[in-house]
């Protein structure tokens, strides 16, 4: 392992930003998260405060007015927000997700125009890849982009798009050359308000309910050719894969964030809940459940942090370790939130305690950005490829 890849230290200035993020979350998210969840209310208030405090800048480089320490602060900042509300963290993470194809493949002009606006919180982004019949099977997408003079005309529907309706800018994947399959996919920048662009109903989700999810519908929607990411057609699949490889580490820390939030709630409750004449934290079974939760969270953190460091360094095994981190941390979050609810007994089954929401929220982590089964497929492919080394 080369130098620096396992250095998880945080520069002093970055720690100050993380402390500020905690403070904003305590002041803005804690008192509102239950209401936002019940009403499916988009967390505009949190976004406004994040913009004022420069928190969006933690996801972008200095050249765009941000300060993300090469991406390291992105994973740590999102982890903090997820500890308070996975719905807010998902909406925030989707801004970075929508920006990543531009970061990976955009021209200088595209980067300057859009990344600067995302970094200062002026514009919200969304990433539109999935379709009704192309979920895990990404290459099966059917949205079409046809060149017409100096414009592209897009037709198709994107499914389950986080921030749809709220976002100002969408990175949309469409076929520009159907005969080439995945190699015929391009990525486009679509601005809200474009004629022919509309959104489906707000999805009534089990969890992360303040994060808005809708279809993105394009009907004879015309955009200028300069909105083709990188100005090169048929590069979209590469942009999508690079995006997912670099976003999975921060899905990993979203998972450790919500896990830590649930674990802390469980410890607090177990310390004060008395049964059989003593606080339940003193029953060894309860104490060992907490020990298992903490051990899994710490292991998930190390995997997610390593994947992030690999991604930042452009390490050749980034995809493998991102898949491992995403798989383990998301499944851990589901288990930890389940155990945290269990330790609250009947009270945990009500909305009087935040673990009920955390339990509902955590489940999405094993589904979006590639399901656990798809992560295992990816890891499995590396196992087969590497098998010859063991002979
Ligand atoms: C709340 C939410 C937010 C989302 N946000 C976004 C977003 O912002 N942008 C975006 O583009 N997409 C987004 N998605 C889409 C998400 O990434 C997909 O839902 C996910 O990739 C799974 O696709 P699917 O739902 O079509 O399930 P399917 O692909 O139909 O899978 C169904 C089941 O089959 C299994 N399966 C499928 N293929 C295989 C295989 N080859 N081997 C083994 N098992 C397999 C899956 O693991 C799963 O259990 C979001 C989804 C949700 C629910």
Q: Which CATH architecture has domain 243-386?
A: Up-down Bundle (1.20)
CATH 2.40.110.10 occupies which residues in the chain? 126-237
Predicted pLDDT at 390: 87
Nearest Cα neighbor of 214 from 231, 197, 225, 201 is: 201
Atom of ligand 1 nearest to the CA of 98: 8
130 close to ligand 1 (CB < 6 Angstrom)? yes
280 close to ligand 1 (CB < 6 Angstrom)? no
Atom of ligand 1 nearest to the CA of 138: 21
CATH 1.20.140.10 occupies which residues in the chain? 243-386
- The structure's pTM equals 0.97
Return the percentage of the chain with pLDDT > 70, whole number: 99
367 close to ligand 1 (CB < 6 Angstrom)? yes
Predicted pLDDT at 190: 98
Predicted pLDDT at 4: 80
The question of whether 27 is a catalytic residue gets the answer no
Predicted pLDDT at 388: 87
CATH of 126-237, one of 2.40.110.10, 1.10.10.10, 3.40.50.410, 1.10.10.1100: 2.40.110.10
CATH 1.10.540.10 occupies which residues in the chain? 12-124
Beta bridge partners of residue 146, listed in sequence order: 153
Question: What is the third-level CATH fold of 12-124?
Answer: Butyryl-Coa Dehydrogenase, subunit A; domain 1 (1.10.540)
Atom of ligand 1 nearest to the CA of 132: 26
Kindly write down the DSSP assignment for every residue of 80-91, as one continuous string.
HHHHH-HHHHHH
Degrees to nearest 5, angle at CA 162 with 157 and 163: 100
Residue numbers in the chain where pLDDT is lower than 50: none
What is the Cα–Cα distance from 374 to 181, expressed in whole angstroms? Answer: 20
Query: What residues contact residue 45 under an 8 Å CB cut-off, 6+ apart?
Result: 28, 32
Q: What is the mean pLDDT of the chain?
A: 96
86 close to ligand 1 (CB < 6 Angstrom)? no
């Amino acid at each position: 392992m080369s130098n620096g890849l396992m250095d998880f230290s945080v520069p002093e200035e970055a720690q100050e930003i993380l402390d500020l993020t905690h403070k904003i979350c305590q002041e803005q998210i804690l008192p509102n998260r239950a209401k936002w969840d019940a009403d499916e209310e988009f967390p505009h208030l949190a976004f406004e405060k994040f913009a004022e405090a420069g928190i969006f800048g933690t996801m972008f480089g200095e050249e765009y007015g941000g300060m993300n320490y090469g991406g390291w602060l992105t994973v740590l900042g999102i982890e903090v927000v997820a500890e308070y509300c996975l719905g807010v963290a998902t909406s925030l993470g989707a801004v970075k997700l929508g920006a990543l194809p531009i970061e990976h493949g955009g021209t200088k002009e595209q980067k300057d125009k859009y990344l600067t606006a995302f970094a200062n919180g002026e514009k919200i982004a969304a990433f539109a890849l999935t379709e009704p019949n192309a979920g895990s099977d990404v290459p099966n997408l059917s949205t079409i982009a046809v060149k017409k003079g100096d414009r592209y005309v897009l037709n198709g529907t994107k499914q389950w798009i986080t921030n749809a309706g709220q976002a100002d800018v969408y990175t949309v994947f469409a076929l520009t050359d159907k005969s080439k399959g995945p190699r015929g996919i391009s990525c486009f920048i679509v601005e809200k308000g474009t004629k022919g662009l509309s959104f489906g109903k707000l999805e009534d989700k089990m969890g992360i309910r303040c994060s808005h999810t809708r279809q993105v519908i394009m009907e004879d929607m015309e955009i200028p050719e300069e909105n083709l990411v990188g100005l090169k057609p048929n590069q979209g699949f590469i942009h999508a894969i690079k995006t997912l490889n670099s976003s999975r580490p921060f899905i990993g820390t979203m998972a450790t964030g919500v896990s830590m939030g649930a674990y802390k709630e469980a410890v607090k409750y177990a310390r004060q809940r008395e049964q059989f004449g003593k606080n339940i934290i003193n029953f060894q079974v309860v104490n060992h459940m907490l020990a298992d939760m903490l051990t899994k969270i710490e292991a998930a953190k190390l995997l997610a942090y390593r994947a992030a460091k690999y991604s930042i360094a452009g390490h050749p095994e980034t995809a493998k370790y991102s898949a491992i981190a995403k798989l383990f941390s998301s499944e851990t979050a589901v288990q930890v939130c389940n155990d945290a609810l269990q330790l609250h007994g009947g009270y945990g089954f009500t909305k009087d305690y935040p673990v009920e929401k955390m339990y509902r929220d955590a489940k999405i982590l094993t589904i979006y950005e590639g399901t656990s089964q798809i992560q295992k497929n990816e890891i499995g492919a590396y196992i087969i490829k590497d098998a010859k080394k063991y002979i």
